[in-house]
């Protein structure tokens, strides 16, 4: 049992961070930066066996690779620059596809404020790496701030006399004052934390499908420009799908409760997809593909005395902005450790409120996604929503209520609560009801599957 007065970080304290992805790097960077403000000298080891400089699965943390508008702005204020050597494409618009319509939603600021990146050094088979790994970029920032990289796989963790012990492959066990779990949701190391005895249990998950389509720089620029494409199609097991343009690749990301090989095939064969990318199926055949889990809920007990779990292995935003959640939880945990302490009580009082805020927001997010899924079953309502969007986009000035709802929902730029509150506005509701009624009236028009470019 630890004496609470001992559960503080002091000069010379040792911190072991397991996982060198965004959560681990953000935590180490902010911890060391805040320690400096308090004239404290800390020793931080980041355990990461993955080599982000390698192409393919060896160097990749399996993610769609979109950095949200709000995170790009936050990192910029924090002094964390995202250079053109890391950002593969700046995004300033979303193109939404339903069964029959297409609408483009442009960023309100008309500025490139969404970044697409590769978490590793690119898909398998890539010959020349023109862009640097995003995870490596953040890891280097943490190392510049003073963290040490331990490039070894962690084979065991335990608590000895109340202090965490990390045992890495080909190395002696190291004692730490604080142990940080930043393993993500797809790492086998998660079970080490579940067996640590603090009552930690990983969040529930569901599978996604991510495929890197090798289209070439010119084709990606010509076909996609600076726009992401989102699909609201009524396909079984699919909540939504997106094409995310990078440098020479387009990342195809499918999210749903039952995404399988058949779901991917039916998506690629869908007329909306074929209309945009006729060669998608052949491009996908030999492409680098993975089916990572994404977090659906909260971890149970993501902290204890001298232990804290951050990023996806703790609490993350539903369907969106995983790197943004990593930033928020990592910084909250680092602030707690420096300014409050490292006991379970300290994390409960000062770290958990941020996790709870994300978690409560996810409940509204879940409600919004459920509503969208129900709407997809009645395509006239999707048509009505897109008509509303189209009219807003064509009009100079004025409120863009539906456009902003879709923009914030798909970019992850605003909390789900804000998106939800916008939908409660009487003008929003009455306008939507009118457009849905119109969509229902002209439902027969869509039967021919003629793609109508409502706004470009």
Partner 1 sequence: MEIGALGKSYCDGETIIGQGEAGDCMYVIQEGKAEVIRESEGKEVRLSTLGKGDVFGEMSLFMREARSATVRAIGDTRVLTIDKKTFMRRVNEDPSFAFRILQEMACRIRKLDSDLVDLITRP
Binding mask 307-336 for partner 1 (x = CB under 8 A): ---------------------x--xx--x-
Q: Which residue among 1, 5, 39, 79 contacts partner 1 (CB under 8 A)?
A: 79
Determine the Cα–Cα distance for residues 45 and 147; give it in Å rounded to an integer.
6
Q: Which residue among 13, 25, 28, 88 contacts partner 1 (CB under 8 A)?
A: 88
Q: Which residue among 7, 96, 115, 333 contacts partner 1 (CB under 8 A)?
A: 115
Rounded to a whole number of angstroms, the minimum distance from the CB of residue 111 to partner 1 is 5
DSSP annotation of 204: P
Determine the Cα–Cα distance for residues 282 and 267; give it in Å rounded to an integer.
13
According to DSSP, the residues that pair with 211 across neighbouring strands are: 252, 289
Q: Which residue among 1, 3, 5, 84 contacts partner 1 (CB under 8 A)?
A: 84
Nearer to partner 1, 86 or 419 (CB): 86
85 binds partner 1, rule: CB under 8 A:
yes
Helix (H, G, I), strand (E, B) or coil at 374: helix
According to DSSP, the residues that pair with 150 across neighbouring strands are: 47
Q: Which stretch binds partner 1 (CB under 8 A): 1-9, 68-76, 228-236, 384-392?
A: 68-76
Helix (H, G, I), strand (E, B) or coil at 268: helix
Q: Which residue among 3, 39, 109, 377 contacts partner 1 (CB under 8 A)?
A: 109
Nearer to partner 1, 5 or 84 (CB): 84
Q: Which residue among 221, 260, 301, 366 contacts partner 1 (CB under 8 A)?
A: 221
Helix (H, G, I), strand (E, B) or coil at 202: coil
Rounded to a whole number of angstroms, the minimum distance from the CB of residue 430 to partner 1 is 25
39 binds partner 1, rule: CB under 8 A:
no
The dihedral formed by the CA atoms of 427, 433, 438 and 444, expressed in degrees to the nearest 10: 150
Q: Which residue among 73, 195, 279, 371 contacts partner 1 (CB under 8 A)?
A: 73
394 binds partner 1, rule: CB under 8 A:
no
Q: 12: left (phi > 0), else alpha (psi -120 to 50), else beta?
A: left
Nearer to partner 1, 83 or 447 (CB): 83
89 binds partner 1, rule: CB under 8 A:
yes
DSSP annotation of 351: T
Residue 117 contacts residue 63 (beta carbons within 8 Å): no
86 binds partner 1, rule: CB under 8 A:
yes
**Angle 352-344-12 (CA atoms, 0-180°, nearest 5)?**
110
Rounded to a whole number of angstroms, the minimum distance from the CB of residue 222 to partner 1 is 12
417 binds partner 1, rule: CB under 8 A:
no
Determine the Cα–Cα distance for residues 356 and 336; give it in Å rounded to an integer.
15
51's CB contacts (< 8 A; 6+ apart) are 58, 59, 151
218 binds partner 1, rule: CB under 8 A:
no
Dig out the tokens for 138 from the structure: 């953040």
Residue 126 contacts residue 35 (beta carbons within 8 Å): no
Site residues (CB under 8 A) for partner 1, limited to 226-265: 226, 247
Site size with partner 1, rule: CB under 8 A: 39
Q: Which stretch binds partner 1 (CB under 8 A): 73-81, 272-280, 293-301, 305-313?
A: 73-81
Nearer to partner 1, 120 or 247 (CB): 247
7 binds partner 1, rule: CB under 8 A:
no
Helix (H, G, I), strand (E, B) or coil at 75: helix
Rounded to a whole number of angstroms, the minimum distance from the CB of residue 141 to partner 1 is 13
Question: How close are the terminal C-alpha atoms of the chain, in Å?
Answer: 64
Residue 164 contacts residue 307 (beta carbons within 8 Å): yes
87 binds partner 1, rule: CB under 8 A:
yes
Rounded to a whole number of angstroms, the minimum distance from the CB of residue 397 to partner 1 is 15
382's CB contacts (< 8 A; 6+ apart) are 98, 99, 101, 232, 375, 376, 439
DSSP annotation of 188: T
Rounded to a whole number of angstroms, the minimum distance from the CB of residue 422 to partner 1 is 13
432 closest CA partner among 395, 397, 382, 394:
382
Q: Which stretch binds partner 1 (CB under 8 A): 14-22, 80-88, 397-405, 443-451?
A: 80-88
422 binds partner 1, rule: CB under 8 A:
no
440 closest CA partner among 378, 389, 391:
378
Site residues, partner 1 (CB under 8 A): 34, 37, 69-70, 72-74, 76-79, 81-90, 109-113, 115, 131, 221, 226, 247, 328, 331-332, 335, 354, 357, 413, 415
């Amino acid at each position: 049992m630890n004496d609470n007065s001992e559960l503080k970080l002091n000069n010379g304290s040792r911190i072991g961070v397991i996982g060198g992805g965004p959560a681990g790097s953000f935590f180490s960077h902010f911890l060391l930066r805040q320690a400096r403000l308090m004239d404290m000298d800390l020793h931080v080891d980041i355990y990461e066996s993955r080599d982000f400089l390698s192409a393919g699965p060896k160097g990749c943390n399996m993610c769609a690779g979109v950095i949200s508008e709000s995170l790009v702005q936050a990192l910029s204020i924090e002094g964390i620059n995202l250079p053109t050597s890391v950002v593969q494409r700046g995004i300033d618009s979303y193109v939404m596809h339903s069964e029959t319509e297409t609408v483009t939603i442009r960023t309100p600021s008309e500025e490139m404020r969404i970044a697409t990146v590769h978490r590793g050094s690119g898909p398998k088979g890539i010959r020349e790496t023109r862009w640097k790994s995003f995870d490596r970029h953040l890891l280097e920032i943490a190392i510049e701030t003073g963290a040490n990289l331990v490039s070894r796989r962690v084979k065991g963790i335990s608590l000895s006399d109340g202090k965490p012990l990390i045992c890495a492959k080909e190395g002696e066990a190291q004692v730490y004052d604080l142990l940080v779990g930043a393993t993500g949701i797809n790492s086998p190391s998660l079970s080490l934390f579940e067996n640590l005895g603090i009552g930690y249990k990983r969040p529930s998950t569901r599978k996604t499908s991510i495929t890197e389509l090798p289209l070439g720089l010119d084709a990606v620029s010509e076909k996609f420009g600076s726009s992401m494409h989102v699909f609201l199609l009524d396909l079984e097991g699919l909540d939504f799908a997106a094409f995310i343009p990078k440098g020479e690749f387009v990342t195809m990301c499918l999210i749903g409760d039952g995404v399988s090989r058949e779901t991917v095939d039916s998506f690629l064969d869908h007329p909306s997809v074929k209309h945009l990318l006729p060669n998608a199926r052949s491009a996908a055949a030999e492409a680098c593909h993975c089916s990572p889990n994404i977090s659906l809920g909260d971890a149970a007990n993501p902290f204890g005395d001298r232990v804290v779990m951050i990023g996806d292995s703790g609490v993350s935003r539903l369907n969106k902005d995983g790197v943004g959640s990593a930033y928020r939880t990592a910084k909250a945990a680092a602030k707690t450790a420096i300014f409050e302490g490292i006991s379970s009580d300290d994390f409960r009082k000062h770290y958990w409120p941020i996790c709870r805020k994300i978690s409560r927001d996810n409940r509204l997010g879940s409600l919004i996604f459920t509503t969208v899924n129900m709407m997809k079953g009645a395509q006239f309502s999707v048509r009505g929503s897109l008509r509303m969007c189209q009219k807003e986009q064509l009009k100079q000035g004025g409120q863009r209520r539906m456009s902003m709802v879709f923009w914030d929902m798909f970019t992850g730029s605003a909390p789900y609560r804000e998106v939800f509150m916008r939908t409660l506005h009487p003008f929003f509701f009455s306008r939507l009801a009118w457009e849905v009624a119109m969509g229902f009236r002209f439902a027969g028009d869509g039967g021919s599957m003629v793609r109508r470019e409502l706004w470009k």
